Structure 1
Amino acid sequence: MKDMQSLLDQGSEWVPLIVEGVTSLALGLVVFFIGKFIASRVAKWCENRLLKSSVDKAVAGFASSILYALMFAGVILMALGQIGVETTSFIAILGAAGLAVGLALQGSLSNFASGVLIILLRPFRSGDFIDAGGQMGTVDRIELFHTYLRTPDNRIIIVPNSSVMGGAIVNFSREETRRLDLIVGISYDADIRLAKQIMEEIVSADERILKDPAWTIAVSELADSSVNFVLRPWVASADYWTVRADLLEKIKYAFDERGVGIPYPQMDVHVHKQES
């Protein structure tokens, strides 16, 4: 009987502690989830405000990512404090652990530093078509560790920022105009003057081709199977691919109609009979 009473007395002492612990844990979880939700909403709101202020989409996305990361770290500290963890000592422990984690995550830190450089140096903007990190696509957004590219066939490529800044970046959209470089080959028995005249007529009739700088049409090479022309008109960057496809199509039709041959690769073989 005494043992039972002793257990009941100990249980009555534990109940407040258990209730307090469960309550603190529940409040900590509430603080965590509500704080995370608020941080997400605030970061999204700031991104929308930046976009409405005509800030570049990539910059707005990067800034909102940093804001969310800082707020989320604060939410974690508040939740731990609510549970009863001593945040001052916890921050000191985090500082010591952060050094070890930083050494282990050098690649991620490199991506973060590269993301900051991308924002500061601005080698490209959201909407630019680039070749970077071995990938080509339209810049969709820049985040803390990655740059998102959208390909012409609507695939999303996530490229680490360190890969973007670690190599050459080709920005196809930075300048307002671009030069087309086409090689057009005709057969050796075709009329060179006629071929050049046809291409000049086609280029002159296309209103998308700029008059300044002037376009160039000239023989560039006497190749093995063809006489090669170089065709170099200037166009607006947005018209580059459509003009390129249209010119090639029109040249092929015009050459067929006016008897200018486009040869297949060929090789002449000469057989010499050796008399015994």
Structure 2
Amino acid sequence: MELIYSQVLTFATVYGGQVLLAIITLIVGLWIIGWITKLLSSMMAKRHIDRDVQPFLLSLVNGLLRVLLLLSIASTLGVQTTSFVAIIGAAGLAVGLALQGSLANFAGGILILIFKPFRVGDLISAQGFTGNVEAIRIFDTTLVTLDNKTIILPNGALSTTAIVNISTKGIIRVDQVYSVGSQNDIDATKTSIMNVVNGCPLALKDRQHDVLITKLNANSRDYDVRVWTKSENYWGTYYYMLEHIARQFDKDGIEAPKPTMFIVNE
């Protein structure tokens, strides 16, 4: 018992000051890190830094400061920091090799946050999905589709493939093609379609809308209908045109293409 007491006393005498200083460094360091993080958050808010970027920057700064604090405490305790850094580097390399996919998503998230091909709330099409961006995180991006499904897309693939941002310009053109029989008068068909376009409440009044013949077939003509609307009204305009043109064609007697059969006499 006396031997244990003697050893504890010797340890306290030799290392007690270092341990106490390390504890104080830890407490003060964590307080300073918290203060710096709050100050940085306040500065970014005042400078109107993008809200999508703020959480990432705060987490990055907080993590780096904690690593520096850990190295400082290790130095206070007499641990060789060069060896400590080498150990951390080796561990980081091993973890990096094991998490290559996650690191690709991490890098993709950084690229998206920096170059901003889209923002939260934008309507986009990517990876075969169309929906509004609900959240942009470091590793993935969340879309909410028009039928209220949540789609989670990895940022690695998202940052290296084509993205269609429907909301960027604020207005968008809804393109549709309608095929009608060749027996219908061209002017009458165009008038019928324009009546629907002019009556669409979502169509922009200060833009020119087009009805153009885009293809001539054996027994039909294809009409390309182009209607300008606000980006958020894309699907509303799309389905309005489909329904009301069908109704208008029935009302005006615009007929669908009639099947044609060719008989060859040998």
Tell me if structure 2 keeps the 8 A contact 1:58–1:140: no
Classify 1:249/1:267 alpha carbon distance in 2 versus 1 (closer, same or farther; 3 Å): closer
Hey, what does 1:19 align to over in structure 2? none
Hey, what does 1:248 align to over in structure 2? 242
CA distance in 1, matches of 2:91, 2:206: 61
Partner secondary structure for residue 189 of structure 1: coil
Deviation at 1:174, TM superposition (A): 0.5
Structural RMSD (CA): 4.2
Classify 1:183/1:190 alpha carbon distance in 2 versus 1 (closer, same or farther; 3 Å): same
Sequence identity (%): 35
Classify 1:134/1:219 alpha carbon distance in 2 versus 1 (closer, same or farther; 3 Å): closer
More deviation in 192-201 or 149-158? 149-158
- Given candidates 238, 243, 246, the residue that maps to 2:232 is 238
Hey, what does 1:205 align to over in structure 2? 199
Hey, what does 2:136 align to over in structure 1? 142
- Given candidates 84, 87, 108, the residue that maps to 1:93 is 87
The alignment status of 1:215 with 2:187, answered yes or no, reads no
CA distance in 1, matches of 2:197, 2:187: 15
The letter for the 1-side match of 2:111 is: L
The alignment status of 1:183 with 2:188, answered yes or no, reads no
Q: TM-score, normalised by structure 1?
A: 0.70
Residues 43-82 of structure 1: pairs in structure 2 closer than 5 A: 54-67=48-61, 69-70=63-64
Classify 1:245/1:47 alpha carbon distance in 2 versus 1 (closer, same or farther; 3 Å): farther
- Given candidates 168, 183, 186, the residue that maps to 1:192 is 186
Classify 1:162/1:44 alpha carbon distance in 2 versus 1 (closer, same or farther; 3 Å): farther
Deviation at 1:231, TM superposition (A): 0.8
- Given candidates 249, 252, 260, the residue that maps to 1:268 is 260
Hey, what does 1:169 align to over in structure 2? 163
Deviation at 1:171, TM superposition (A): 0.9
Partner secondary structure for residue 133 of structure 2: strand
Q: Deviations over 1:24-65 (max 9, x none)?
A: 9xxx9xx9xxx8xx97xx979977985787543422343344
Residue-pair matches, total: 255
Deviation at 1:96, TM superposition (A): 2.2
The letter for the 2-side match of 1:145 is: F
Q: Deviations over 1:256-275 (max 9, x none)?
A: 12211234xx643445676x
CA distance in 2, matches of 1:148, 1:255: 41
CA distance in 1, matches of 2:92, 2:116: 30
Hey, what does 1:21 align to over in structure 2? none
Tell me if structure 1 keeps the 8 A contact 2:219–2:260: no
- Given candidates 107, 132, 145, the residue that maps to 1:151 is 145
Q: TM-score, normalised by structure 2?
A: 0.72
Classify 1:224/1:151 alpha carbon distance in 2 versus 1 (closer, same or farther; 3 Å): same
Partner secondary structure for residue 53 of structure 2: helix
Deviation at 1:109, TM superposition (A): 2.6
Q: Deviations over 1:228-274 (max 9, x none)?
A: 111112112122211121122111111112211234xx643445676
Hey, what does 1:121 align to over in structure 2? 115
Classify 1:98/1:120 alpha carbon distance in 2 versus 1 (closer, same or farther; 3 Å): same
- Given candidates 122, 131, 156, the residue that maps to 2:125 is 131
Give unpaired runs (5+ residues) of structure 2.
Answer: 10-18
Tell me if structure 2 keeps the 8 A contact 1:208–1:235: yes
Classify 1:114/1:85 alpha carbon distance in 2 versus 1 (closer, same or farther; 3 Å): farther
CA distance in 1, matches of 2:143, 2:59: 17
CA distance in 2, matches of 1:139, 1:45: 29
Give unpaired runs (5+ residues) of structure 1.
Answer: 1-7, 17-23
Tell me if structure 1 keeps the 8 A contact 2:140–2:154: yes
The letter for the 1-side match of 2:95 is: V
The letter for the 1-side match of 2:247 is: Y
The letter for the 2-side match of 1:183 is: V
